[in-house]
């Protein structure tokens, strides 16, 4: 697969235009440390989301979470744009049309010091309104993410638990969203509303700050997988934290987001915009 690199004296970012423009490396040159999680196995271009998943950071559209069917269109896990090639328009700008759905997204990336800036447009090419789930599936893992890392969120956010446990053993008795769970703790997912930024920092106080357009993506999915899944797809090898800005919830697919009123609605010929900035946090 092609690898597109954005690089300056502080930061090196690698993405895969042949597979969703996945960001597979967010490398802090000063610390010689990659903050992006690398999933077990070798990234592949063809297959389902989980079969091709490299870790790191994916664009999710038009379905969030499990496979679903809506308005006659069948969607894979996390939609379709994360598993197909994007066209390069030059100047670190990429575009793709969603299969089975009349949406087109264009993304421009730019580095400035220790920050990656992303601006996007999402256009409905149809003469009818459509609904969608749109998100950024950011994950953090080793060697950066370990017990002792902390997650900082704005004060006053609302936490929406997932309706049922995603771990066969059930939920943890208490869930502290500011702490990274220990290896082997039960997997979990919840949704935070009211955040427009977060920080993930290690014991030195260094890490990443993510800020985004919370009008377009008002939910933050918090996914914790710490080795408790000993069957497919992780086989006990995943210790990962996902902190994922999303337009909608839950991870049960587009029909449920439409039913609960959180699905993004894009009118005939309408274009929506979005921005996100991911920055290195300096020590101290």
Q: What is the reported pLDDT for 183?
A: 85
Identify the residue whose tokens are 């328009």: 89
Give pTM, 2 decimals. Answer: 0.95
Other Cβ atoms less than 10 A from the Cβ of 13: the count is 21
Three-class secondary structure assignment of 5-48? EEECCCEEEEEECCCCCEEEEEEECCCCEECECECCCCCCCCCC
At residue 284, the pLDDT reads 57
Dihedral sign from CA coordinates of 275, 111, 45, 35: negative
Please give the Cα distance from 4 to 93 (Å, whole number): 11
| Average pLDDT for runs of 10 along the chain of length 284 | 95 96 96 92 77 91 96 94 96 96 98 98 98 97 92 95 80 78 88 98 94 98 89 86 97 98 98 98 78
Nearest in space to 188 (alpha carbons), one of 163, 219, 159, 166: 166
Domain count, the chain: 1
Domain extent for 194? 4-281
**CATH code of the domain covering residue 231:** 2.70.98.10
């Amino acid at each position: 697969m092609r690898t597109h690199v954005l690089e300056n004296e502080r930061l090196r970012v690698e993405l895969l235009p042949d597979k969703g423009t996945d960001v597979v490396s967010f490398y802090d040159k000063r610390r010689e440390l990659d903050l992006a999680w690398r999933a077990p196995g070798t990234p592949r271009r063809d297959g389902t989301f989980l079969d091709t998943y490299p870790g790191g950071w994916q664009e999710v559209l038009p379905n969030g979470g499990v496979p679903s069917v809506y308005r006659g269109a069948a969607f894979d896990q996390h939609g379709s744009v994360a598993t197909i090639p994007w066209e390069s328009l030059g100047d670190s700008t990429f575009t793709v049309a969603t299969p089975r759905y009349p949406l087109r997204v264009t993304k421009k990336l730019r580095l400035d010091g220790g920050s990656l800036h992303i601006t996007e447009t999402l256009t409905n090419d149809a003469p009818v309104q459509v609904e969608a789930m749109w998100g950024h599936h950011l994950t953090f893992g080793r060697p950066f993410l370990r017990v002792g890392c902390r997650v900082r969120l704005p004060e006053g956010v609302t936490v929406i638990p997932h309706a049922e446990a995603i771990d066969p053993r059930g939920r943890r008795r208490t869930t502290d969203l500011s702490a990274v769970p220990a290896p082997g703790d039960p997997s979990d997912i919840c949704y935070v509303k009211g955040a427009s930024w977060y920080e993930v920092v290690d014991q030195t106080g260094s890490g990443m700050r993510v800020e985004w357009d919370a009008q377009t993506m008002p939910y933050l999915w918090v996914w914790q997988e710490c080795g408790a899944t000993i069957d497919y797809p992780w086989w006990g090898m995943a210790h990962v934290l996902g902190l994922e800005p999303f337009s909608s919830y839950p991870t049960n697919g587009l029909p449920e987001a439409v039913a609960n009123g959180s699905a993004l609605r894009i009118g005939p010929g309408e274009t929506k915009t979005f921005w996100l900035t991911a920055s290195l946090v300096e020590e101290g």
